[in-house]
């Protein structure tokens, strides 16, 4: 077993399973997809650490969220084999690759066009993934409606544009940094209305464009 394969097994056993991720399909995906393939070469040795991993190569920081949070969000999403999924702020594409193991079709968007190109290359082996450069607030209406939308990070605002791309009965999952402490949330669309439910305490970097607008103080 290679060093990365051993590290991947330790990540799943030591970080993911121990955080109550028991869904066999999610665990199998995380055991199969090589996280190091979505990390710049100079940082591949850090690929399996329990951190939000910086994969940016410019001034704007972009991250792969922690493995445990990744697994818990995927488990809560309950992605079916026939589902159409949107991954927002995919960075280099790791979360999209995992979703592709679970879903029929995945659309991945990334606001940094250079990083989106890298994600597209990294995801080239996944026939059911389309990767596009787009602002995190935009999603991709051309492939909507979605059964599941997952944020690869946190939001400080209600992502109304993304919610409108959900199918009836569909779910949006991510970390809400509107609350203290921040919490992973699931939003479900039912009869045109959106119900919010907190899942667990969690923290993640806020996605570009989903920051709270600073208010003017005199």
Over residues 154-182, the pLDDT tens digits come to 999 999 999 999 999 999 999 999 878 99
How far is residue 12's CA from residue 122's CA, in Å, rounded to a whole number? 21
How much is the pLDDT for 118?
Answer: 95
Which residues of the chain are modeled with pLDDT < 50? 216-218
3-201 adopts what CATH topology?
Rossmann fold (3.40.50)
How much is the pLDDT for 217?
Answer: 46
Residues 6+ apart with CB under 8 A from 118: 92, 93
How much is the pLDDT for 179?
Answer: 79
How much is the pLDDT for 198?
Answer: 96
Paired with 166 in beta bridges are 146
Torsion of CA 181, 72, 122, 187, to 10 degrees: -70
Q: Where are the domains of the chain?
A: 3-201
Rg for the chain, CA atoms, rounded? 16
Token pair for residue 148? Answer: 């599941």
Q: What is the pTM of this model?
A: 0.95
pLDDT over 90 percentage in the chain:
92
How much is the pLDDT for 215?
Answer: 52
């Amino acid at each position: 077993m290679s060093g990365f394969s051993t590290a991947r097994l330790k990540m799943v056993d030591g970080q993911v399973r121990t955080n109550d991720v028991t869904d066999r399909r999610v665990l199998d995906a995380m055991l199969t997809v090589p996280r190091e393939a979505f990390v710049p070469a100079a940082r591949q040795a850090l690929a399996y650490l329990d951190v939000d991993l910086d994969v940016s190569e410019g001034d704007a920081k972009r991250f792969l969220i922690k493995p445990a949070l990744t697994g818990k969000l995927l488990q809560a999403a309950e992605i079916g084999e026939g589902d159409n999924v949107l991954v927002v702020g995919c960075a280099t594409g790791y979360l999209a690759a995992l979703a592709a193991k679970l879903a029929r079709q995945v659309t991945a968007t990334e606001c940094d066009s250079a990083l989106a190109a890298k994600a597209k290359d990294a995801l080239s082996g996944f026939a059911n993934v389309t990767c596009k450069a787009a602002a995190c607030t935009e999603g991709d209406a051309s492939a909507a409606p979605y059964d599941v939308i997952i944020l690869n990070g946190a939001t400080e605002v209600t992502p109304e544009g993304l919610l409108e791309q959900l199918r009836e009965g569909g779910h949006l999952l991510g970390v809400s940094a509107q609350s203290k402490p921040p919490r992973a949330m699931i939003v479900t669309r039912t009869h045109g209305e959106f119900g919010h439910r907190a899942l667990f305490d969690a923290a993640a970097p806020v996605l570009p464009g989903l920051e709270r607008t600073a208010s003017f103080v005199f």
